[in-house]
């Protein structure tokens, strides 16, 4: 048991084929109850079945708490609303990875390390040159992160891990910005140590050698907020992927690279790009948003309201609530009047009153408004998920580190219920139909 707050007191009973099995019950620090089935197969021969892992606890974790019914999200016990208002991304990253808010000296050292490790090896520039200009930046990001393992090998877990964590946090924004510059055919802009994390990222994306450029404060602050809101979300698809790959004791870079690929999918982090593409489609179709609500309700159409619904949140996504307010503020401050924001608000208003969405508890998620803010900041649509990855990185690292440091952690290896053919003899080719 790795968590001091977890108690293993009660037992539960399972009746299977007239035989009773006693199973231990685990209670977490927020009163969440889990039935420990690790010995069930040994005792009864049965496994549990849970397609999509919707009701399976894969680990004990002390990093992030979510109560989806109440719309609660906390990193290491701190409410997301407070962190969004009072903290910054570098501090939140430290909190997630090391478990406590840094003191002044710790924060200064962390910030120093993140700036002074932000250059990437010059040889890596050759890799960028090999990609076609049409390459999606998520593909480039994942390949580059995996290739970091060639430059910074892990000789043993304890020897290099802290340094590699800092390197990865520091370099991901450089890699992300370079992948953007590559896609638009502009020269790479190197990191600047005098800028904070978000401003440096934006400077590397938008500065050009021919003119001086300073990142507007409102844009850097908006990005910092987005990164905080994305920083962790317990055992979601990409984080579980990071843990899954890391459970084989694959190195940090390989594990995070796999997480980036998982995040790319349109049902996960790729949804922010899909939301904007959907809103643009609605706008080009005469802004008839009600037609698209009807399409989302019609299963035959295969159309989903992107940015709506969540596996865990069943009342509201607290991140979406913060972002809805932020979208208004950022667009106002930048003097941007985006018709897509009005379409998004209209869609939300109609959907929230519609029985289809009410019955299924479908609410806007974090991706619904984030794309509109990214657009106002001048970030191109195919970079949205890259920004999500940048934000999620400290969460992935924290979860990977927690798993590697858990005594007795085992390789992830789910079971299955086999439903294929039973044993049959091989048929030679001349006898096959």
Interface residues toward ligand CMC, by CB under 6 A: 233, 236, 267-269, 271, 296, 304-311, 360, 362, 365-367
Q: What is the largest CA-CA distance in the chain?
A: 79
Helix spans in 117-270 (H) = 124-130, 137-151, 157-184, 197-206, 217-230, 237-246, 252-264
The beta strands (E) that lie in 88-167 are given as: none
Question: For residues 141 and 225, what is the distance between their CA atoms, to the nearest angstrom?
Answer: 22
Neighbours of 337 (CB within 10 A): 10
- Least Cβ distance, residue 362 to ligand CMC (angstroms): 5
Token readout for 205 is 């994306």
- Least Cβ distance, residue 60 to ligand CMC (angstroms): 21
- Which residue's CB is nearer to ligand CMC, number 291 or number 360? 360
Chain residue whose CB lies nearest ligand CMC: 309
Question: For residues 7 and 234, what is the distance between their CA atoms, to the nearest angstrom?
Answer: 20
Question: What residues are annotated to the active site?
Answer: 310, 367
- Least Cβ distance, residue 269 to ligand CMC (angstroms): 5
Q: Which residue has the tokens 């005098």?
A: 194
- Which residue's CB is nearer to ligand CMC, number 171 or number 310? 310
Q: Which has the closest alpha carbon to 69: 30, 11, 29?
A: 30
> What are the helix and strand counts (H, E) for the chain?
18, 6
Token readout for 85 is 């208002």
- Least Cβ distance, residue 221 to ligand CMC (angstroms): 22
- Which residue's CB is nearer to ligand CMC, number 253 or number 292? 292
Q: Is 265 helix (H, G, I), strand (E, B) or coil?
A: coil
- Least Cβ distance, residue 365 to ligand CMC (angstroms): 4
- Which residue's CB is nearer to ligand CMC, number 178 or number 400? 400
- Least Cβ distance, residue 274 to ligand CMC (angstroms): 7
- Which residue's CB is nearer to ligand CMC, number 180 or number 308? 308
Question: For residues 171 and 196, what is the distance between their CA atoms, to the nearest angstrom?
Answer: 14
Question: For residues 161 and 165, what is the distance between their CA atoms, to the nearest angstrom?
Answer: 6
Q: Which has the closest alpha carbon to 270: 375, 159, 388, 402?
A: 388
- Which residue's CB is nearer to ligand CMC, number 325 or number 360? 360
Q: Which has the closest alpha carbon to 209: 225, 188, 229?
A: 188
């Amino acid at each position: 048991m790795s968590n001091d707050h977890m108690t293993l007191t009660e037992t539960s009973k399972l009746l299977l084929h007239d035989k009773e099995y006693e199973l231990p019950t685990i209670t977490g620090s927020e009163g969440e109850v889990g039935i420990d089935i690790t010995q069930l197969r040994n005792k009864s021969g049965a496994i549990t079945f849970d397609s999509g892992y919707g009701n399976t606890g894969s680990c004990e974790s002390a990093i992030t708490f979510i109560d989806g019914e109440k719309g609660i999200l906390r990193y290491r016990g701190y409410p997301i609303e407070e962190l969004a208002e009072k903290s910054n991304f570098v501090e939140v990253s430290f909190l997630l990875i090391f478990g406590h808010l840094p003191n002044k000296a710790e924060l200064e050292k962390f910030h120093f390390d993140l700036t002074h490790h932000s250059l990437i090896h010059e040889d890596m520039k050759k890799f960028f040159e090999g990609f076609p200009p049409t390459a999606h930046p998520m593909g480039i990001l994942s390949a580059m992160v995996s290739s970091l393992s060639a430059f910074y090998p892990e000789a043993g877990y304890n020897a290099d891990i802290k340094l590699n964590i800092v390197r990865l946090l520091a370099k991901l924004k450089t890699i992300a910005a370079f992948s953007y510059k590559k896609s638009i055919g502009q020269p790479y802009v190197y990191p600047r140590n005098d800028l904070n994390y978000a401003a440096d990222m934006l400077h590397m994306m938008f500065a050009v050698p021919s003119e001086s450029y300073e990142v507007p404060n409102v844009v850097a602050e908006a990005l910092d907020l987005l990164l905080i809101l994305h920083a962790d979300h317990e055992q979601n698809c990409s984080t579980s992927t990071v843990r899954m790959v890391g459970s084989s004791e694959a190195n940090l870079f390989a594990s995070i690279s796999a997480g980036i690929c998982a995040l790319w999918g349109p049902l996960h982090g790729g949804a922010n790009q899909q939301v904007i593409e959907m809103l643009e489609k609605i706008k080009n179709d005469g802004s008839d948003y009600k037609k698209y609500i009807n399409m989302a309700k019609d299963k035959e159409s295969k159309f989903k309201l992107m940015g709506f619904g969540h596996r865990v949140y069943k009342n509201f996504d607290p991140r979406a609530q913060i972002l809805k307010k932020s979208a208004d503020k950022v667009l106002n401050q930048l003097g941007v009047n985006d018709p897509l924001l009005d379409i998004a608000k209209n869609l939300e208003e109609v959907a929230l009153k519609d029985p289809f969405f009410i019955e299924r508890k479908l609410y806007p998620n974090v991706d619904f408004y984030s794309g509109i803010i990214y657009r106002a900041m001048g970030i191109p649509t195919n970079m949205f998920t890259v920004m999500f990855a940048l934000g999620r990185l400290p969460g992935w690292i924290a979860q990977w580190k927690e798993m590697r440091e858990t005594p007795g952690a085992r390789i992830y290896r789910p079971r299955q219920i086999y439903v294929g053919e039973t044993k049959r003899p091989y048929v030679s080719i001349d006898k096959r139909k």
